[in-house]
Structure 1
Amino acid sequence: MPAFPVQDIQHYINGQFIDGISRKTFVNLNPFNNQAINNVAEGFKEDIDQAVASAKEAFDNGPWRSMKVEERLAYLVRIADLIEEHAEEISFLESLDTGLPISQTKKQAARGAENFRFYAEMVKSRLIGESYQVDDTFINYTIHKPIGVAGLITPWNAPFMLETWKIAPALATGNTCVLKPAEWSPLTANKLAHIFDQSGLPKGVLNIVHGFGETAGASLVAHPDVQLISFTGETTTGAQIIKNGADTMKRFSMELGGKSPAIIFEDADLEKALDSVIWGIYSFNGERCTANSRLFVQESIIEKFVQRLKQRVHSIKVGNPMDPGTEIGPLIHRNHFDNVSRYLDIAKDEGADIVSGSIPDEFKEGNFIAPTLLLNCTNDMTVAQEEIFGPVMAVIPFKTEEEVLRMANDVKYGLAAYVWTNDMRRGHRFAQAVDSGMVWVNSQNVRDLRIPFGGSKYSGVGREGGHYSFEFYTETQVIHVAIGEHHIPKFGVEKQNAVSSAEQ
């Protein structure tokens, strides 16, 4: 793949690329070698205020909210076309910025374009109201109205896909947006700003402010003119966002952390289960909220299954993310590398056996963690309870269905789960008993854009995806209309007549 030029990044506010008001910038680092890629404008409260004012003006007085639906959705289709035109560059920038293998980022541009096309169609087919007639006297009906300014805060893992996944339904339903991308992965957000600009999107409809969560992100959350916040990221940050935005009565959608179990029963198709759990934890460098980071294997097959796991782990290719053959690249940032390394030290202290692949010497400057298995784990270990967010999987044996269900649910998270069995009665029974927002039975993590996405417990609040996004991005209004004769109670009439008689 050819290299594409990378320039310094500005904010995108009211249809213009501008420096931050403070003129401060921060350095964006390449996770492959920790060398500087470019400089990025650092946003603060003043920049957020400017972006929100632009979005509010576009919503209150611009054409976006009142535009004919077909005209508005035509912009989404145009944006999808432009994403596809620039797919190769988007893939390059995503790998350069995040360390994700190029073979995996190639799919991100396609997913981004699909998000816009999907919501262009979904608004036409599913953004509909209901009517409730009361005999021949009343008819009540509902409509969906855009809410206003949507604050969108996105993470650094798969940033392009997740940015488009939030922006598409927000715009399709008539809202305007302020996006605060993750500071560790600004490149594809900036490319997206150029795509929006090229599409001719009306000024102020989409604004992007770069910066850090503690400053730019916190200012977006606290702003009184931002009606909703959609956040994807770490659970502790999500809880803080809800606290910081509570005074302004915002609505929140929170897609947070996970410690998802994969359960392998002895009657499962072991070859497919093996492929699934390897892909589920080691693709995306293990930086995936739905990763099966806890693997429960029935005791009767665990020895054979672990042997196969070891073989596969040692065969995974670690390397330059720009190499099409690379399967695991570097972690996003040195700080995250240090955190994952800390968990490996904890695993050793807790008595787990550590089996890992190797990192070639030429990649020592990067943030590489080899694909790792933690064997002889118990479910109460720190490494089985806390989200590591790297290519690390804890393997835990179990005897019975009741035992593994108890362990699967004995964690504060509840995002995803994976069940492997050829007994479909057990598959359904177990899936419905697991505390998680999503369960895959005899399948890897495959996404259908029509389904709701989200988790339970500490893994999130609310659901987005499909028509479920409309519940978050629109206000449902009820309109009551009298269509026939009906009785209206008279109130205070007798008192008024009595006063009139006394005056006479």
Structure 2
Amino acid sequence: MEGQLDNVLHYINGQFVEGVAGKSFANVNPATNEVINKVAEGFEEDVALAVAAAREAFDHGPWRTMSVKERLEYIVRIADLIDENAEEVSELESLDTGLPISQTRKQAARAAENFRFYAQMVNSRLVGETYQVENSFVNYTVHKPLGVAGLITPWNAPFMLSTWKVAPALATGNTCVLKPAEWSPLTANKLAQIIDEAGLPKGVFNVVHGFGETAGAALVAHPGVQLISFTGETKTGSEIMKNGANTLKRYSMELGGKSPAIIFPDADLEKALDAVVWGIFSFNGERCTANSRLFVHHSIMDWFVSALKERVDQIVVGDPMDPDTEVGPLIHRKHWQTVMNYIQTAREEGTEVVSGTVPAEFEKGNYIAPTLLLNCTNNMRVAQEEIFGPVLAVIPFESEEEVIRMANDVIYGLAAYVWTSNIKRAHRIAQAIDSGMVWINSQNVRDLRTPFGGSKYSGIGREGGHYSFEFYTEPQVIHVAIGDHPIPRFGTKTKKS
């Protein structure tokens, strides 16, 4: 994209506005570390205005009381506008995050699908149940929106992950306040422009930019917010739950991961190799479900490591706007330093570090070449802690029992991948692994109908499909008397003197 972009403003009550304090912060291009534009910095006062607008829209506006058909027409309209603006969205995402344009184009398409999917799900699956008690009662349930949803999104795949939350929140009749990650504000601003163009009633959708410690904390603590959906690192998720404890909010937490990929000798090794390389090095390694721990059976370790080295050397590192680029820069210099520190830690722990190359012309950016950590053991820091970069820890195993133990010997439990042609073993291992999701003989592919989330320190709750309704709606049961049934009588006896 050419030229200086306009500064990013908050979107509150149907208007793009400066922050109350009049402050802003710089948004930086990760490929060059040059300033792209300025972003309005939100504080408690801005959050209060956004929540008040969302509260008013929910309590007194038409959003939750309009017909489902009319509300879902807005949702589909948003999807259509995303499609119309898909190329701009993709370019903004690549510029802002360093993700290769070939990958952000797919994310824009997925974002539009999120809205269409939830329009369909509300029509087909947001249904109640009826319980008849002989000829006396009919009891039935309805699903009602809760109110204001606080949506806090991460900087990796920010546009798609924002729509992953906004779509079900709005489709079910809630209003919302979105707090995007401060390192990737551009596509959240574009989403606000799209929703504004779609003509939603004012206050239904709001965006407050800023930092987690200020804007995010204020959103979490606000008593007018009933729901907090957060995607991000585990430590931040824990802090969010502490900050919101006094207001008894409902939480959905999709947190960190250190997901294992397990390769047995009888697997289709070429496909497994493709999946492993894609799973850790696409998205610049900044993917929560990345297979960052690779367990390879000792009998095929030499072949697999040799093949990995060859692939790593061939991965194209470069300008995220170049369609041929496979790995771009990391999101921010601070994160770049964190990942570099882990690579140094790996050396100190005794691993063999094998890296690809970053072309010299990209030295000003936050580039880290795809990296293998060989001769790892599962107790090393680099095998236990989430690195969130293009870094793969390779660990040998001997037996099924050993690899299950090592796969589970970590605080996280988001995803796992099993490669074997023995289908009984595949199911056995998949069910033995402590994780929210397991892929057998496949890379990470998503089915929007299925629940997404993790166990242990990887999260709380599930979103996706009709499972999102458990979070974004409140079931209410209504009891209707239909027969002549006795009612206990109180206050009819004569008091003793």
Class of the TM-score when normalised by the shorter of the 2 chains: over 0.9
| Structure 2 match to 1:250 | 249
Change (3 A) 1:349 1:298: same
- Say which SS state the counterpart of residue 292 (structure 1) adopts: coil
Count residues with an aligned counterpart. 497
Quote the Cα distance in structure 2 between the aligned partners of 1:225 and 1:4: 40
Pairwise CA distance, 1:488: 1.3
User: 1:336-387: CA deviations, max 9, x gaps?
Assistant: 0000000001000000000000011100000000000000000000000000
Quote the Cα distance in structure 2 between the aligned partners of 1:69 and 1:321: 41
Preserved CA contact (<8 Å) 1:418 1:440? yes
Equivalence map 1:148-159=2 (5 Å): 148-159=147-158
| Structure 2 match to 1:284 | 283
Quote the Cα distance in structure 2 between the aligned partners of 1:387 and 1:493: 69
User: 1:289-323: CA deviations, max 9, x gaps?
Assistant: 00000000000001111100000000000000000
Tell me if 1:223 matches 2:227. no
Q: TM-score, normalised by structure 1?
A: 0.98
- Say which SS state the counterpart of residue 115 (structure 1) adopts: helix
| Structure 1 match to 2:98 | 99
| Structure 1 match to 2:192 | 193
| Structure 2 match to 1:46 | 45
Quote the Cα distance in structure 2 between the aligned partners of 1:423 and 1:182: 43
Quote the Cα distance in structure 2 between the aligned partners of 1:202 and 1:111: 25
Quote the Cα distance in structure 2 between the aligned partners of 1:210 and 1:344: 32
Quote the Cα distance in structure 2 between the aligned partners of 1:493 and 1:426: 70
Q: Which amino acid aligns with 1:120?
A: A
Equivalence map 1:23-172=2 (5 Å): 23-172=22-171
| Structure 2 match to 1:362 | 361
Pairwise CA distance, 1:3: 4.2
- Say which SS state the counterpart of residue 493 (structure 1) adopts: coil
Pairwise CA distance, 1:274: 0.2
Quote the Cα distance in structure 2 between the aligned partners of 1:380 and 1:22: 48
User: 1:31-56: CA deviations, max 9, x gaps?
Assistant: 00000000000000000000000000
Pairwise CA distance, 1:126: 0.2
Quote the Cα distance in structure 2 between the aligned partners of 1:421 and 1:136: 56
- Say which SS state the counterpart of residue 152 (structure 1) adopts: strand
| Structure 2 match to 1:293 | 292
Q: Which amino acid aligns with 1:359?
A: V
Q: Which amino acid aligns with 1:103?
A: S
Quote the Cα distance in structure 1 between the aligned partners of 2:326 and 2:340: 20
Preserved CA contact (<8 Å) 1:4 1:89? no
Preserved CA contact (<8 Å) 1:98 1:185? yes
| Structure 2 match to 1:268 | 267
Q: Which amino acid aligns with 1:167?
A: V
Preserved CA contact (<8 Å) 1:11 1:17? yes
Quote the Cα distance in structure 1 between the aligned partners of 2:325 and 2:278: 13
| Structure 1 match to 2:487 | 488
User: 1:143-184: CA deviations, max 9, x gaps?
Assistant: 000000000000000000000000000000000000000000
| Structure 2 match to 1:349 | 348
| Structure 1 match to 2:455 | 456
| Structure 2 match to 1:442 | 441
Pairwise CA distance, 1:108: 1.2
Tell me if 1:183 matches 2:182. yes
Quote the Cα distance in structure 1 between the aligned partners of 2:293 and 2:495: 79
Q: Which amino acid aligns with 1:250?
A: K
User: 1:92-146: CA deviations, max 9, x gaps?
Assistant: 0000000000000001111110000000000000000001000000111100000
Preserved CA contact (<8 Å) 1:220 1:226? yes
Quote the Cα distance in structure 2 between the aligned partners of 1:206 and 1:189: 12
Pairwise CA distance, 1:492: 3.6
Quote the Cα distance in structure 1 between the aligned partners of 2:289 and 2:253: 14
Q: Which amino acid aligns with 1:451?
A: T
- Say which SS state the counterpart of residue 19 (structure 2) adopts: coil
- Say which SS state the counterpart of residue 465 (structure 1) adopts: coil
- Say which SS state the counterpart of residue 338 (structure 1) adopts: helix
Pairwise CA distance, 1:4: 7.5
Preserved CA contact (<8 Å) 1:147 1:175? yes
Pairwise CA distance, 1:239: 0.3
Q: Which amino acid aligns with 2:250?
A: R
Q: TM-score, normalised by structure 2?
A: 0.99
Q: Which amino acid aligns with 1:413?
A: Y
Preserved CA contact (<8 Å) 2:4 2:36? no
Pairwise CA distance, 1:279: 0.2
Preserved CA contact (<8 Å) 1:414 1:436? yes
Q: Which amino acid aligns with 1:490?
A: R
Quote the Cα distance in structure 1 between the aligned partners of 2:71 and 2:97: 32
Preserved CA contact (<8 Å) 2:4 2:37? no
- Say which SS state the counterpart of residue 374 (structure 1) adopts: strand
Preserved CA contact (<8 Å) 1:285 1:331? yes
| Structure 2 match to 1:328 | 327
Quote the Cα distance in structure 2 between the aligned partners of 1:14 and 1:197: 10
| Structure 2 match to 1:412 | 411
Tell me if 1:375 matches 2:358. no
Identity of aligned residues (%): 73
Q: Which amino acid aligns with 2:268?
A: D
Preserved CA contact (<8 Å) 1:73 1:120? yes
- Runs in 1 of length 4+ with deviation above 4 angstroms? 2-5
